A and B are shown apart, each in its own frame.
Chain A
Amino acid sequence: MALVEIRDLVVAYGDHAALKGVDLDVAAHKLTAVVGPSGCGKTSLLRAIAGFEVPRAGTVRIAGRPVAGPGIWVPPEERRVGMVFQQGALFPHLTVWQNLCYGLRRRQDVERVERALALVGLAGLRQRYPDELSGGEQQRVALARALVPSPRLILLDEPFASLDAGLRQHLRAEVRAILERARMTAVLVTHDQEEALSVADEVVVMGQGRVLQVGSPDAVYRHPASLAVAAFLGDGQLIACEVEGHRARSSLGTVPSNGARPGPGLLLVRPEDLVLAPADAPGGLPGHIARRTFYGHDLIDEVVLDDGAALQVRRLSADPQPVGSAVRVQLRDKPFPVYPDPQPAGRPAVTAL
């Protein structure tokens, strides 16, 4: 069931429309990640749900109750929506304990503060001031503070962006676990596609003030609704193909066309969708490994085909062929998304995403 229902939402600053008619349902007890390039409107969407932006048009309902719409405006403090900001926004003049108590309606409810502190595992730090906490601790306190008034949902605005990489991964998993334990509905805004895919139950991809696609992380990565979504989430290459009936024919082979319109098309091939076979194997296209980027557990090989086109191939790093080896590039046996080619004239066989 949808906890937040957004219909036709328009948010504008002067002449610039940040949201151009957004429809979205946020599922209860799930973590929804809103992802998109900067300026796509994702933060405006979050702030409109929280009540920090007054929409030009459209409606927002939370738990069935309209909070923004024609003639309706509920201020942020009455929406029961928790918010976690990029740098935590802990009140610097209050201790951890006082920060957590800020959202209490009644003094008697202090055991809620205790529970929230225990939930984020920081009960020992209650007398500290925010400037005595590490970045990760500050974000956990900010999350606990948002949980204390028992909000109906929690909004997280780039909560890990100011942390360094190692801490970010660790805290991501922890925040997810905390939200699950609290059975909390949460919306997380991020520009980091890896974060969105790894942490969320549901991913909302935005671009230029609109929702481009909503789905599970697997679905939006494997079956992007458009080339724009494909380009934003993950990398890879587009292979020119010709769609005829139910099949798409390309230089790498013929695959099911997934109902694409007949005519010139583009096949989305992720780096992990390609296999490197020995040079004397049957099928595929001949080439050689020209360059290698090593990541430890996996690597990306750039294979230059005999006709000059370059392909990115990802594989596990155990026992690969050396750089310079002659190989044959083959498509894995799986369905591929096919898109009509917007500009078929002069299209090379391979276009990098």
Chain B
Amino acid sequence: MTGGGVASIAGRLAGRRGRSAPPLWAIPALATVALVLLPLIYLVLRAAQNGWRAYLGAIWTPLVGALVLRTVALAAGVVALAVLLALAVAWLVARTDLPGRRLWAVLGALPLVLPSYVAALVLVTALGPRGHLQQLLEPLGVERLPALAYGYPGALLALALFTFPYVYLPVLAALRDLDPALEESARALGAGPWRSFFTVVLPQLKPALYGGGLIVALYVFSDFGAVSITRYNTFTLAIYNAYRGLFDRTTAAALATVLVLLTVVLIAAEGRLAAGLRPSRQRPSRPAPRLALGAWRWPALVLVGGLALVTLGLPLAVLGFWGVRGLLRGDAVAGLLAAAGNSLVAALVAALAAVVLSLPIAIWSVRYRSRLAVFVERLSYAGFALPGLVIALALVFFAARRLPALYQTLPLLVLAYVIRFLPEALSATRGALAQVTPAFEEAARGLGRRPLAVLRTVTVPLVLPGMVAGGSLVFLTAMKELPATLLLRPIGFETLATEIWSYASEAIYGQAALPALVLLAVTAPPLYLLTIRPVLAGRNGG
């Protein structure tokens, strides 16, 4: 995305390539990246401990083939549906006179704040064979609804409806940054509105579509919450069942390596697709004209309104209904408070650790830009692509073998969060650092301060806003994290996420709704402020 490009240009201007790395930054940075890579290495070792022949035998089975197909089919369906929804909503709010388009622009991005297991929970309770919709239709003689909320359609809906903002937000930003002179040139050259959209506008949206599509596909690959509640068997669910249900750790490890391989193939494919793109660097010369929808505004309003109703109205109504029922029956409010406290503590510690660890890597790679520094920075982003379940599984193996004292303790859970969410902290810290000219630091050195004193008195105060934003993002995503928490939490340590999931998977919706409401109340407003509003206000990129 553009933020990385701007940051890397600024970094190249600010940094002095090739200067030798001071051990002050290099040592903690190398230690952090070793920590990030350790579980992955251990996972491979564990999968291959009975020899490569045994490993190949474990993964070369019809079951694994079926899992690959099911996982890829789900990801393809979710990406396709998300892209369609994202294109439609972004185009309507950016390029037409749709009534209330400012409101729809915000509402289109909001589903992002719902974790997938809450989305799936809502869909299952509302659209299940004997869910709320069936109850409403019962007087009409509808005894059962088709099992739309379960299996492939259920997982598809739960994931696509709530991840499409990952495509919608960058597409909206790209549409707004697109110079209308390009479309007008196409029109003046004889192309009608459709041809100019498909031959000129759509190619310019490709970077946003590929980037957003990659995030959605990675989300599907790593999702555990939605597929477990809708009972659609993908890799994550199979790994979890092998590990928890069958206590078959070798199979779990083998499956996890295949999932990692799938992820690597996906990222490489997106890289190849995106490599040939030539995004426009021309700034818009004037605001794009808006198409008058005329009578088409009614179907358009039905689309955006229906989407908001399903993705926002339905969750609020369903969770509110069950939440109030739960409260009236006085269900486990004490347990709820304990779970909320546990979530807060684990996420807070993880956020602090991730931000602190991100600083040496950022300083090393932005200020010195040696090959090693850049390579180390790249490696630190590995957690972004690794499913949380895989990280957790690897840490379980590692702790069980090497550090039994850590097994099922809070530090191990925090370590999993740090590995998984370090990229969020790092990109915020490096972005903030790239904006700060090194002249400030040089001035402080010139005034007689030592490197650590410069860090404390100049660098950190200047990059603090970026670090706080990055840390908040880590905190919020760690609050919602499910699969790693399920595997690594200490015995009896319930968080909001585990409470929601375990009650939802046992169909005790009244108990699941209250923690879900608390989780949303805590995470939704800051997530909106941190991730949605900057893009909608056009402050993305740098």
- The interface of chain A, by Cβ under 8 A from chain B, is 50-52, 75-83, 85-87, 89-93, 102-103, 105, 129-131, 142, 145-146, 148-149, 151
Q: Are A77 and B285 in contact (CB under 8 A)?
A: no
Measured CB to CB, the closest approach of chain B to A190, in angstroms, equals: 15
Partner of B181, one of A86, A103, A146: A86
Q: How far is the CA of A50 from the CA of B185 in the complex (A)?
A: 10
Determine the chain B residues whose CB is within 8 A of the CB of A149 once the complex forms: 189-190
Which of A81, A93, A131 lies in contact with B204, CB distance below 8 A?
Answer: A93
- Residue contacts A-B, CB under 8 angstroms, 18 given: A50-B184, A51-B187, A52-B289, A76-B184, A77-B188, A83-B184, A83-B185, A90-B185, A91-B182, A92-B204, A92-B279, A93-B203, A93-B277, A93-B278, A102-B199, A130-B278, A145-B189, A149-B189
| CB-contact partner of B184 in A87, A89, A102, under 8 A | A89
* A103 and B281 in contact, given A85-B184, A87-B179 (Cβ under 8 angstroms): no
Q: B534 near A: Cβ within 8 Å?
A: no
Q: B189 touching A131 by the CB < 8 A rule?
A: no
Q: How far is the CA of A240 from the CA of B206 in the complex (A)?
A: 64
- Contact of B281 (CB < 8 Å), options: A52, A131, A145: A131
B278 contacts A92, CB within 8 Å?
yes
**From B184, which residue of chain A is reached at the shortest CB distance?**
A52
Report yes or no: B181 in contact with A85, Cβ–Cβ below 8 A: yes
Across-interface contacts of A89 in B (CB, < 8 A)? 179, 181-182, 184-185, 282
Within 148-182 of B, Cβ neighbours of A (below 8 Å) are at 179, 181-182
Instruction: Tell me whether A129 and B278 are in contact (CB under 8 A).
Output: yes
Taking the closest CB of chain B, its distance from the CB of A186, in whole angstroms, is 14
Which B residues from 179 to 224 make CB contacts under 8 A with A? Answer: 179, 181-182, 184-192, 199-200, 203-204, 206
Which residues does chain B contribute within 8 Å of A146, judged by CB atoms? 188-189
Contact call B282/A87, Cβ cutoff below 8 A: yes
Chain B neighbourhood of A85, CB < 8 A: 181, 184-185, 285
Kindly list chain B residues whose C-beta atoms are within 8 Å of the C-beta of A129.
278
Collect the chain A residues with CB atoms within 8 Å of residue B206's CB.
Answer: 93
Complex contacts, B282 vs chain A, CB 8 Å = 87, 89, 92
Q: Which residues of A contact B191 (CB under 8 A)?
A: 77, 102
Residues of chain A contacted by B285 (CB below 8 angstroms):
85-87
Residues of B within 8 A of A (CB): 179, 181-182, 184-192, 199-200, 203-204, 206, 277-282, 285, 289
Which residues of A sit under 8 angstroms from B189, Cβ to Cβ?
77, 82, 102-103, 145-146, 148-149
**Cβ-defined contact, B181 with A87, below 8 A:** yes
For the complex with contacts A52-B184, A102-B189, A131-B278, 14 further pairs of A-B residues with Cβ separation under 8 Å are A52-B187, A80-B190, A82-B189, A85-B181, A85-B285, A92-B204, A92-B278, A92-B280, A93-B204, A93-B278, A102-B191, A103-B190, A105-B190, A151-B188
CA distance A264 to B264 in the complex (A): 85
Across the interface, name the chain B residue whose C-beta is closest to A76. Answer: B187
Expressed in whole angstroms, the Cα–Cα distance for A129 and B279 within the complex equals: 11
C-alpha gap A77/B194 in the complex (Å): 12
Q: Quick one: given A92-B280, A93-B278, A129-B278, are A83 and B182 in contact (CB under 8 Å)?
A: no
The majority secondary structure among interface residues of chain A is loop
A278 to B277, CA, bound (A): 69
A92 adjacent to B281 (CB under 8 Å): yes
Q: Which 6 A-B residue pairings sit nearest by Cβ, starting from the closest?
A: A103-B189, A89-B181, A83-B188, A85-B181, A76-B187, A93-B203
Complex alpha-carbon distance, A243 and B192, angstroms? 60
CA gap between A93 and B191 in the complex, in Å: 17
- CA of A129 to CA of B281, assembled, Å: 13
Contacts of B278 in A (CB 8 A): 92-93, 129-131
Residue of A nearest to B182 (CB): A89
Minimum CB–CB distance from A11 to chain B (whole Å) comes to 13
Min CB gap B230→A, angstroms = 39
Q: How far apart sit A129 and B184, CA to CA, in the bound complex (Å)?
A: 20
| Chain B residue contacts of A90, Cβ below 8 A | 185
- For A145, list chain B residues within 8 Å (CB): 185, 189
Within 8 Å CB of B199, what residues of A?
A: 91, 102
Q: B183's closest neighbor in chain A, by CB?
A: A89
| Chain A: CB-nearest residue to B200 | A91
What residue in chain A is nearest B206 (Cβ atoms)?
A: A93
Nearest-Cβ distance from residue A335 to partner chain B, whole angstroms: 43
In the complex, residue of chain A having the shortest beta-carbon distance to the beta carbon of B192: A77
Shortest distance between the CB of A86 and any CB in chain B (Å): 6
Nearest-CB distance from A44 to chain B (Å)? 11
| Interchain CA distance A93-B202 in the complex, whole Å | 11
User: In this complex, which of A82, A87, A93, A148 has the most chain B Cβ atoms within 10 angstroms of its Cβ?
Assistant: A93
- Taking a contact as CB atoms under 8 Å apart, the answer to whether B187 and A75 are in contact is yes
Taking the closest CB of chain B, its distance from the CB of A4, in whole angstroms, is 15
Least CB distance from B174 to A in Å reads: 12
A76 → B minimal CB distance (Å): 4
Given the complex of chains A and B, what is the CA–CA distance between A93 and B280 in angstroms?
8
Q: How far is the CA of A76 from the CA of B184 in the complex (A)?
A: 8
Q: Report Cα–Cα, A75/B280, bound state, in Å.
A: 26
Q: Which of B179, B182, B188 contacts A81 (CB 8 A)?
A: B188
Point out the residues of chain B lying under 8 angstroms from A82, CB to CB: 188-189
A52 / chain B contacts, CB cutoff of 8 Å: 184, 187, 289
User: In the assembly, what is the distance between CA of A5 and CA of B281, in Å?
Assistant: 37
Q: Report Cα–Cα, A91/B277, bound state, in Å.
A: 12
- A194 CB to nearest chain B CB (Å): 22
Residue of A nearest to B286 (CB): A43
Q: How far is the CA of A142 from the CA of B186 in the complex (A)?
A: 12
Q: How far is the CB of A142 from chain B (nearest CB, A)?
A: 8
**Does B192 contact A75, Cβ atoms closer than 8 Å?**
yes
| Central interface residue in A89, A103, A129, by most chain B CB within 10 Å | A89
Inter-chain contacts of B181 with A (CB < 8 A) = 85-87, 89
Question: A76 contacts B188, CB within 8 Å?
Answer: yes
Q: Which of A51, A83, A142 has the most CB of B within 10 A?
A: A83
Q: How far is the CB of A46 from chain B (nearest CB, A)?
A: 11
Interface centre among A85, A130, A142, A145, by most chain B C-beta atoms within 10 angstroms, is: A85
Most central of B189, B279, B280, B282 by chain A CB within 10 Å: B189
Give the residues in chain A near B184, CB-CB below 8 Å.
50, 52, 76, 83, 85, 89
Query: What is the minimal beta-carbon distance from A143 to any residue of chain B, in angstroms?
Result: 12
Tell me the nearest residue of chain A to B187, going by C-beta: A76
A105 to B195, CA, bound (A): 13
Minimum CB–CB distance for A147 against chain B, Å: 11
Q: Which residue of A lies closest to B292 (CB)?
A: A54
Interchain CB contact under 8 A, A102 and B186:
yes
- Of residues B200, B277, B278, B281, which shows the largest number of chain A Cβ atoms within 10 Å of its Cβ? B278
> Shortest CB–CB separation between residue B147 and chain A, in angstroms?
44
CA distance A103 to B280 in the complex (A): 20
